Chain A
Amino acid sequence: MKLTGSQVVAEILIEHGVDTVFGYPGGTVLNVFDALYEYRDQIHGVLTAHEQGASHAADGYARATGKPGVVVATSGPGATNLVTGLATAMIDSVPVIAITANVPDSLIGRDAFQEISIVGITMPITKHNFFVNRIEDLPKAMHDAFRIATTGRKGPVLIDITKDVTAAKIDYKPGVYHEETKGIPKVQSDDLQKIADIINGAKRPVIYYGGGIRAAKAADELNALMAKADIPSTYTIMAAGAVDADDPRNMGLIGMHGTVAANKAMDKADVMIALGTRFSDRVALNPKKFAKKATKIQVDIDQSEINKNVLVDYSIVGDVKDFLQQLLPLIEENEHKEWIEEVTEMRRSINTPEDGKLHPQNIIRTIGDNTDKETLYVTDVGQHQMWAAQYLKHERTGNFITSGGLGTMGFGYGAAIGAQIGMPDRRVIHITGDGSFHMNLNEACTAVSEGLPIITVIMNNTVLGMVYQWQTIFYGKRYAGTTPERKTDFVKLAEGFGAKGYRATTPEEFEEVFKEALKADGPVWIDCVIDQEERVLPMIPAGGSTEDMIIG
């Protein structure tokens, strides 16, 4: 069957189960959009306001569904607008396929209109990328892109196709493709027995887990290990929900804004088991002091994560689910009653000030009380993100969608749109701040066009809260660039976009409008007026240790 390059792209997308693409058209990518029009019964094309929004939508779609998210953009500025989205997906190991078209091959290298070497630009922020200027190379590049994005440690892959290739014809046979994958090493049994012995002999063990638990769908095995060996656990923001918030062995979030319990337990532990996590500088703030008394065990699918930031005593490279399944039979039933009591005594409970005012705590609590555990919570980046991480009662892995590694302000709305389109039957709550939301609120037009009932809760303190907080604590209250004096009326703005807008200034008002918002069938914004002095606590300053913790 003779197909054009663009038809081949569409055919291969369908072969890999893609039914939705996010994107924005333009000159060089016209042929691809034309094919998407032809295949519109099978592939839903979502037009965003900006390519950055489309890239975050593909990311949010992937995080919500577990399937790769696809974004299509034109050359030049269309392609460069994907950069932040790809970098966000890269550091959080999210499978995203980005397809860009470039100028015709005959113009490559001549600074043609809207020509850019997006392969050169995205080399450091993709797992791999392809420049396709020969039609014969297109099918393999497309198939390889899906294989690379979705196997091993997942990540984004970009395919840049010259415009002439999108029109050129090729004899394409679907389904003739043999997968070849860089093998994931099998977990070795010698190491396993040794590790099991160390865990069985531990007096003060802790488990510290991250996004790998979510990527490997290993929450059940993790909970089984915690129960059998009676080990308390702490998590990074990437893994919220893998262990039920109310589990007595759950110590909460670790790191800069983690709980006192989790951070102190890490100091005292004699054995630390790190599962699918990378000891980032927001967790191991001082890598030399992290779990300093513990025998350290690290399991990760990515060999390069072993000993990268913190040196460990034992390591296993492989799938964390496979590891846990093999480890569990070697683990003895155990009890660490005193240790668990000691560490969970330090657990932070939500103290909502009862002064009748609207606070982050009562906003998050009201959201939690009025939504079920199927709900997807998507955040932007900043104070509101930390409050959401700290105060939401995470019950299920994968329900908390946030830009963990890159900390991308403006991620939230696009990601919420992607999540809602990927999971139309589940409620999506987008929790943001006025700073982050100003970055990409233009995607409201997408939410309106697509009729998405996303509820956006804006924690509006009129300042760039997280930086403001650092300036308050570390810069003698010199508020440079954080007090913009904006006069944005979010209620009117929502209405201007064709969405619904509410404002809440008290806990009662918030509860009332949130319940109203739940009944709406399109996007709703709730502008929540909070005090600019609200802080995210506890806090360990960058590079510090538990001794430097600011509790409040």
Chain B
Amino acid sequence: MNNETKREVISIYVDNQANVLARVVSLYGRRGFNIDSLTVSETTDPTISRITVVFKGTEQGLAQILSQTEKLEVVRRIFVLEPGASLFRELLMMKVKAEPEDLAHIKDIVEVYRGKIIDLSTDSMIVELTGEPGKIDGFIAMMSGYHISEVCRTGITGMGRGLDPDNENVQALPR
């Protein structure tokens, strides 16, 4: 088995009930899996939520994380989002302390990255940017010359390309 570590993105359908996130997170904590990011939200069916987990691990680690998670009673379906066949997005909000003379240049950078300035005050602005995690990293690097006051990233969420019949009717997924 391959011992290299690589980034994996996993999607999990779970019963939307109290403690469900705690169950997943505490499992990863006690099994020693290192989570890079985690997003969770309701699906179109309010009884089912979808969790996206990003973690770095080996092939053996991935197999363990999948089978341990699948054992949880609240888990309906778990699958890996393969990089070639999936789309990943992340949302960034960045607060920048901006001097009036910097405004034009910052606007240029934001435009190139197709971000939006969603708030402008006399001393600062907030930029919103959505994109692949790499693009977010690139934007943050480009902005590093300015005074970045706060940064907020949602973590990765993702979806496989094309229809997946298993995800059409999540309520019907077996326990």
Contacts and interface: CB of A to CB of B under 8 A. Distances in A.
A182 B174 contact: yes
A44 interface: no
B64 A127 contact: no
B60 A303 contact: no
Interface residues of A, number: 20
Contacts of A302: 67, 71
Contacts of A292: none
A148 B63 CA distance: 23
Interface secondary structure of B, over-half rule: helix
B30 A124 contact: yes
A493 to B, nearest CB: 39
Contact of A128 (B22, B63, B70, B73): B73
Interface in B39-57: none
A124, A148, A304, A308 pick with most chain B CB within 10 angstroms: A304
B26 interface: yes
B27, B67, B174 pick with most chain A CB within 10 angstroms: B67
A183 B174 contact: yes
A119 B71 contact: no
B23 interface: yes
Interface in A50-72: none
Contacts, number: 43
A190 interface: no
A304 B18 contact: no
Interface string A127-139: 1100100000000
A306 B22 contact: no
A476 interface: no
B175 A180 contact: yes
Interface size class of B (residues with CB under 8 A): 10 to 19
B18 A306 contact: no
A131 B174 contact: no
A311 interface: yes
A511 to B, nearest CB: 48
A182 B73 CA distance: 8
Given A119-B19, A128-B73, A302-B67, 7 more contacts: A120-B22, A124-B26, A180-B174, A182-B73, A182-B174, A302-B71, A304-B67
Interface of A: 119-120, 123-124, 127-128, 131, 144, 148, 180-183, 302-304, 306-308, 311
30 contacts: A120-B19, A120-B22, A123-B19, A123-B22, A123-B23, A123-B26, A124-B27, A127-B73, A128-B72, A128-B73, A131-B19, A144-B73, A148-B73, A182-B73, A182-B174, A302-B67, A302-B71, A303-B67, A303-B71, A304-B67, A304-B68, A304-B70, A304-B71, A306-B63, A306-B67, A307-B1, A307-B63, A307-B64, A308-B64, A311-B1
